[in-house]
């Protein structure tokens, strides 16, 4: 049966309205997209970039701290800002998060954003954006990240028990990454985040002085590196002394970290272990020499793929979670 023209017009109008509604609801119903806040808080990413730039200018080591904060947040409960909650039993108190910092930078960005568009931008997204900006400020690649995460409503110290640890075996590291949907290549590339930043002598004590029965050092440490590490971290010395993770290039984001691991100059035990395993060794080698520098694979580009993938672990979107008023406390 034929419908009158005015009925067809009404149907068409309804269809257009529904299409518009669903296009607007799409992101709100659980989809991460680049530019999620373009209409609801258009200056959000610019504010985060400005706050991060100021923080890194004041303290150049803050770039690595913000990158590490992103990693630690995503590996526990997913990328939901759970590490930001402050409290005696909160996740950030876990020993596996020892030394994680940068919380005040996230809070500063959140406060400035709340002044212009309250209740819109999640702390979880600010963590991801801050890590992206920290990489760029370390002469690393610039890239876009999808946003639209919401903040979690749980943060408990016991949740961090499954965090990857510097003393884990290579098989355990692979398993922990696999549980998060990340591959062996992601393991290598995300370890490459150690291209910037420092570690404490505390994490080197066993590797330098008690690695084998009866004492002794890890034999995979390059003989040129061993006396350097021991001079910076003497036995029974101050375990809080910090040293660069990427020998000769610890404030510049580049592929040098993988070259150092290949040559026995990896500072952390977990980094060095990547070259003792056949499959991860092959991945590291693929980023060395003329073919890689000319034809690929390219470390910076592949790192972006991995960190964007990590940033989507266990995200809460749509009606899940909340948008915190301050990042250190639930609403």
Q: 9 a known binding residue? A: no
Q: 205 a known binding residue? A: no
Place of tokens 């692979």: 174
Sign of the CA dihedral running 118, 124, 126, 129: negative
Q: 91 a known binding residue? A: yes
CA distance 259 to 327: 38
Q: 82 a known binding residue? A: yes
- 250 close to 232: Cβ distance less than 8 angstroms: no
Helices and strands per DSSP (H, E), number in the chain: 14, 2
Q: 194 a known binding residue? A: yes
Q: What is the CA radius of gyration of the chain?
A: 23
CA distance 277 to 261: 12
Is 70 a known active-site residue? no
Q: 195 a known binding residue? A: yes
Q: 58 a known binding residue? A: no
User: What one-character DSSP code corresponds to residue 222?
Assistant: -
Q: 305 a known binding residue? A: no
Q: What φ, ψ does residue 277 adopt, rounded to 5°?
A: -110, 135
Q: 254 a known binding residue? A: yes
Residue 230: other Cβ atoms inside 10 A: 16
Sign of the CA dihedral running 89, 202, 222, 276: negative
Residue 58: other Cβ atoms inside 10 A: 9
CA distance 73 to 127: 8
Q: 76 a known binding residue? A: yes
CA distance 283 to 188: 7
Q: 292 a known binding residue? A: no
Instruction: Enumerate the active-site residues.
Output: 72
Annotated binding site for Ca(2+): 73, 76, 78, 80, 82, 91, 195, 246, 254
Annotated binding site for substrate: 164
Annotated binding site for heme b: 194
Annotated binding site: 73, 76, 78, 80, 82, 91, 164, 194-195, 246, 254
């Amino acid at each position: 049966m034929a419908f009158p023209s005015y009925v067809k017009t009404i149907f068409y109008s309804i269809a257009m309205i529904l299409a518009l509604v669903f296009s607007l609801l799409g992101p709100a119903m659980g989809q991460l997209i680049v530019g999620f806040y373009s209409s609801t808080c258009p200056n959000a990413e610019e504010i985060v970039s400005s706050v991060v730039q100021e923080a890194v200018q004041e303290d150049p080591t803050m770039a690595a701290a913000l990158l590490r904060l992103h990693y630690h947040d995503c590996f526990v409960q997913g990328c939901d800002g759970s590490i930001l909650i402050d409290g005696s039993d909160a996740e950030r108190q876990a020993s596996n998060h020892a030394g994680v910092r940068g919380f005040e930078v996230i809070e500063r960005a959140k406060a400035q954003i709340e002044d212009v568009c309250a209740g819109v931008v999640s702390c979880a997204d600010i963590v991801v954006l801050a890590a992206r900006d920290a990489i760029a400020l370390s002469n690393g690649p610039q890239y876009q990240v999808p946003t639209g995460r919401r903040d979690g409503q749980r943060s408990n110290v016991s949740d961090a028990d499954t965090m990857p640890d510097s003393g884990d075996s290579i098989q355990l590291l692979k398993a922990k990454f696999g549980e998060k949907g990340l591959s062996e290549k992601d393991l290598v590339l995300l370890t490459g985040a150690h291209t910037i930043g420092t570690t404490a002598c505390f994490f080197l004590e066993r590797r330098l002085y008690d690695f084998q029965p009866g004492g002794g050092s890890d034999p995979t440490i390059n003989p040129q590196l061993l006396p350097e590490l021991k001079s910076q971290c003497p036995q029974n010395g101050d375990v809080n002394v910090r040293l660069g993770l990427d020998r000769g290039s610890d404030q510049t984001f580049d592929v040098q970290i993988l070259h150092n691991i290949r040559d026995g100059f990896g500072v952390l035990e977990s980094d060095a272990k990547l070259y003792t395993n056949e499959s991860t060794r092959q991945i590291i080698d693929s980023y060395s020499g003329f073919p890689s520098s000319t034809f690929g694979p390219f470390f910076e580009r592949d790192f972006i793929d991995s960190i964007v993938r990590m940033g989507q672990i266990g995200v809460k979107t749509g009606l899940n979670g909340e948008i915190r008023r301050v990042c250190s406390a639930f609403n």
